[in-house]
Structure 1
Amino acid sequence: MNTAKDISQLYNSLFELEAKFKKEAVYPIHKQLHFSERFSDIYEFLVSKVDCKGKTILDAGCGVGFGSFLFVKNQAKEVVGISVSIREIERANEIKTKLKIENCQFQLASFDEISTSFDLIFCVESLKHSLDIQKSFTTLLDALTPNGQLVIVDDFFDGHENTISQQLKENWHLNSLISENDIQIDDANFSISSEDLTPFMRLKSLFKIYTQRLFFRLFKKNSPYKKLFKGGVLLDHLYTKKQMKYKLLIITKNR
């Protein structure tokens, strides 16, 4: 079983890797989708669907604050960003200070350490890294105010366990892959809507995937970046094999 330290180290390595290639101080750390010219990023797509104005918002898995600052820009009342990566939180707080943003704060914390309620909770490609997905999902639902909404965007496994999925979990320190069975709600106080965003992705060919997997042999055995890159290609493999879907779920607390 993976530990909180494993996940923290993974995200610290991701921060270090992204920082090598990104010129901007703040940037998205998730996959790139290909929307129309109206949206350049998944977060922009989300704020077009969910009203942030006057809301208290939790950005669960905030990275370096890209989404959190966008929520502030869209007139959120207050935003709290959490991450298990100290490197991400340090960078987010540096940017917040530089931009002189007062209604946004960043904390080193996991999903299971949430102790206050929010009108909106966003989990963009972060729930899958929970040590216990169903427990974290329940915690997030409990943290919603009446009429609050939980917005989840993530990679949903839509197949049977196989060598590729097992290797993905190993390289990304995942205790399990998210499936729609993990996001079942048998409670009349909640309603859920679902949208498949997979068509907005550009899937790689199997030839390119196999070529990239051969490339990983050039990495040093203990390189933290090797697992990050390999995990990404394994995820691409599952998408190309149509065993993974990129889905948006919006869960509304109807009371």
Structure 2
Amino acid sequence: MEERQLARTWTARVLTLYPDMFPGILGHSLTGRALREGLWQLETTSIREFGLGKHRAVDDTPTGGGAGMVLRADVLDAAIRARPVIGPLIYLSPRGRRFDQPMARALAAGPGVTLLCGRFEGVDERVIEHHGITEVSLGDFVLTGGEIAAQALIDASVRLIPRVLGNAESAVEESFSGNLLEHPQYTRPNDWNGRTVPEVLLSGNHAAIADWRRSSAERLTKERRPDLWRAHVQGTSADPNGSAQLSDAETFAEKGDHKED
């Protein structure tokens, strides 16, 4: 893909064996329009270019035995060093801290993010330690590779960049704001298949509508996400392994700590 270098523009740098997967879904809808308008930019680094030998080998068998293959530390190190690391250096990994809305906000507030997409059985632990890479997970499941997770993380962060969303209030009122799920949404027709829009939403009484939306959000959160509800009541993060460890959310986004010794 053609890449443009725009100074002081939020940048996602992605290290992957499959650069052709990008921008993928990020090239469509609001994120795609924002990409074309230069509100953010995408750089891809092909890990394969740093492979060894005639066949550009990037992996080897696990030391100590076991199934599958592991991405080599020397190959990944060369790929990481090929361009400046932008923002925090993150490896998409099922054993990482859980990605959440506070983390997306922290990333959106910084200069960008550098993402390492794993494959096979993962990456050599030594490159994670050497570069001080942060491991981040979308949830308790395993994907074939990190590319889908990387696109999800980028999408969640980019949409919070100023001017990407048409209505700034959208990012304030959606799910996970204040540890609450979003209230139900309705539109025309007011009566569909015998199901009607709640009368309060048609009343024009903005205070009553706000109260209804708030109470609906609280009810849904209590029913579906008791962990979020407890965090809402206590005024804390819902995930002790997620945004709590990233608080320093701003520090995390701004410093992008990594080692290159």
TM-score by length of 2: 0.25
CA radius of gyration, larger in? 2
Higher normalized strand content (fraction of residues): 1
TM-score by length of 1: 0.26
Higher normalized helix content (fraction of residues): 1
